[in-house]
């Protein structure tokens, strides 16, 4: 027993044995808990449809052995009488290790959650999925910035002046790259507001095409003539966009003119004939047909109907059927289409 009371570096041999035993015990207990939790959550994840279990498995796996080792040494050091300077160094190392481990957990949580949400949304909403990269970048930047500030604060560094300096420097950098930052934040705005998605056919001013990719800075559109149009996200957010994919039905207005020599009885029958023609074609809804006005060289009619599809080819097929049917009807009734003519009267 006298041997156990032998003093080594201000601590008895018994204290050293207890400290080492506590450190070893904590290390293996924490490692065992980590292993059991990973296995339990993995088994639970196989039975559950929720992504939370999978995310927790990833987070537990990111617990580093070096972190567990440092924590075990710190707990073991609590059983020893150490010089104040040494005790502070051990505590500081444990604190830094803890903050780094928290950062790894948070980073894994952000990455796993966003990756799974992006994969889930990609099939239904490609635009949202593509913009999640920007959200992940800013979330990780915020997390690591917070961890670095906490570590510096625990090292005894006054971070107030540092934060102020970074604020001024950040303003200067933001002013220098404001266009890039504007595009990045606009990509997030597109993500949240969803004015269009990948695969939508849009018209921006006089440019039109199908959206291929929504990036952090630019959106790429494939035009009808084949070339790729690249728009700045800020330009798109500030533009008036016509999204044809979200059009449930298409309103169509068309007109034609007949000659002034057309008998009144046939003029009165034309709106009804147009109505019957449109109603006989599927995927249409008739709205109106009227004798609109007296033109310079024709009696003008205006007709309105709806195509119950957003497909442009279907619209053109229907319009073609209507035009041919009206032509056949006029040919049968002896009604002539008007074309620009002038009558010149010469005075003797």
Q: Are residues 146 and 16 in the same domain?
A: yes
pLDDT of residue 171: 56
State the pTM of this model. 0.50
Q: Are residues 63 and 144 in the same domain?
A: yes
Domain that holds residue 9: 3-178
Could you tell me if residue 340 is inside a domain?
no
Instruction: Write the CATH number for 328.
Output: 3.30.70.100
Q: Are residues 208 and 174 in the same domain?
A: no
Could you tell me if residue 30 is inside a domain?
yes
Q: Are residues 65 and 161 in the same domain?
A: yes
Q: Are residues 155 and 272 in the same domain?
A: no
Which residues in 305-334 are b (16+ Cβ under 10 Å) and which e? bbbebeeeeebeebbebbeebbeebbeeee
Q: Are residues 59 and 43 in the same domain?
A: yes
Could you tell me if residue 111 is inside a domain?
yes
Q: Are residues 174 and 85 in the same domain?
A: yes
pLDDT of residue 124: 61
In this structure, are strands 284-294 and 11-12 parallel, antiparallel, or unpaired? unpaired
CB 216 within 8 A of CB 169: no
* Mean pLDDT, residues 85-110: 84
Q: Where are the beta strands (DSSP E) in the chain?
A: 7-8, 11-12, 201-204, 207-214, 218-223, 228-232, 241-243, 250-258, 284-294, 299-307
Percent helix, percent strand, percent coil in the chain, to nearest 5: 60, 15, 25
Q: Are residues 105 and 205 in the same domain?
A: no
Q: Are residues 9 and 38 in the same domain?
A: yes
Q: Which residues face 102 on adjacent strands?
A: none
Instruction: Write the CATH number for 231.
Output: 2.30.30.60
Number of alpha carbons in the 13 Å side-chain half-sphere of residue 63 = 18
Using CA atoms in the order 272, 276, 277, 279, what is the torsion angle rounded to 10 degrees?
A: 130
| Average pLDDT of the chain, as a whole number | 81
Could you tell me if residue 291 is inside a domain?
yes
Q: Are residues 150 and 40 in the same domain?
A: yes
Could you tell me if residue 12 is inside a domain?
yes
CA distance 117 to 129: 8
Q: Are residues 40 and 115 in the same domain?
A: yes
* Mean pLDDT, residues 113-119: 73
Q: What is the pLDDT of residues 161-210, one digit of tens each?
A: 656 555 555 555 555 455 666 677 777 777 777 788 888 888 888 888 98
Could you tell me if residue 346 is inside a domain?
no
CA distance 149 to 273: 79
Q: What is the pLDDT of residues 35-93, one digit of tens each?
A: 888 787 777 767 766 667 677 777 777 888 888 888 888 888 888 777 888 888 888 88
In Å, how far are 166, 243, 325 from 248, measured between CA atoms?
Answer: 51, 11, 26
Residue scoring higher pLDDT (262 or 185): 262
Closest CA to 244 of 227, 221, 226: 221
Could you tell me if residue 341 is inside a domain?
no
* Mean pLDDT, residues 303-313: 90
- Please tell me what DSSP assigns to residue 253: E
Taking 80 as the threshold, does the pLDDT of residue 321 lie above it?
yes
Residue 207 phi/psi, 5-degree rounding, is -105, 140
Number of structural domains in the chain = 3
Q: Are residues 140 and 167 in the same domain?
A: yes
Could you tell me if residue 199 is inside a domain?
yes
CA distance 244 to 251: 12
């Amino acid at each position: 027993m006298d041997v156990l009371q032998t003093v080594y570096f201000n601590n008895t041999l018994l204290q050293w044995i207890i400290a080492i035993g506590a450190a070893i015990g904590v290390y293996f207990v924490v490692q065992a808990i980590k292993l059991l939790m990973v296995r339990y959550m993995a088994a639970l994840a196989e039975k559950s449809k929720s992504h939370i279990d999978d995310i927790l498995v990833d987070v537990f796996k990111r617990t580093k052995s070096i972190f567990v080792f440092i924590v075990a040494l710190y707990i073991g050091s609590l059983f020893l009488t150490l010089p104040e300077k040494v005790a502070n160094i051990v505590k500081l190392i444990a604190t830094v290790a803890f903050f780094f481990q928290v950062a790894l957990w948070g980073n894994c949580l952000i990455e796993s959650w966003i990756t799974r949400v992006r994969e889930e949304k990609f099939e239904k909403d490609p635009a949202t999925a593509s913009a999640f990269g920007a959200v992940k970048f800013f979330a990780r930047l915020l997390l690591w910035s917070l961890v670095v500030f906490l570590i510096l604060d625990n090292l005894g560094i006054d971070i107030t002046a540092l934060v102020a300096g970074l604020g001024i420097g950040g303003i200067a950098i933001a002013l220098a790259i404001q266009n890039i930052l504007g595009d990045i934040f606009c990509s997030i705005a597109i993500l949240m507001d969803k004015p269009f998605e990948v695969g939508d056919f849009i018209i921006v001013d006089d440019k039109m095409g199908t959206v291929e990719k929504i990036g952090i800075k630019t959106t790429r559109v494939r035009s009808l003539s084949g070339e790729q149009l690249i728009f700045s996200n800020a330009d798109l957010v500030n533009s008036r966009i016509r999204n044809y994919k979200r059009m449930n039905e298409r309103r169509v207005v068309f007109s034609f003119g007949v000659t002034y020599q057309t008998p009144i009885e046939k003029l009165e029958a034309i709106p009804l004939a147009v109505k019957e023609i449109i109603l006989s074609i599927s995927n249409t809804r008739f709205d109106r047909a009227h004798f609109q006005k007296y033109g310079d060289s024709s009696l003008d009619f205006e007709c309105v109907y709806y195509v119950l599809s957003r497909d442009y080819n279907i619209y053109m097929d229907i319009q073609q059927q209507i035009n041919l049917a009206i032509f056949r009807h006029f040919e049968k009734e002896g009604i002539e289409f008007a074309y620009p003519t002038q009558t010149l009267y010469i005075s003797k």
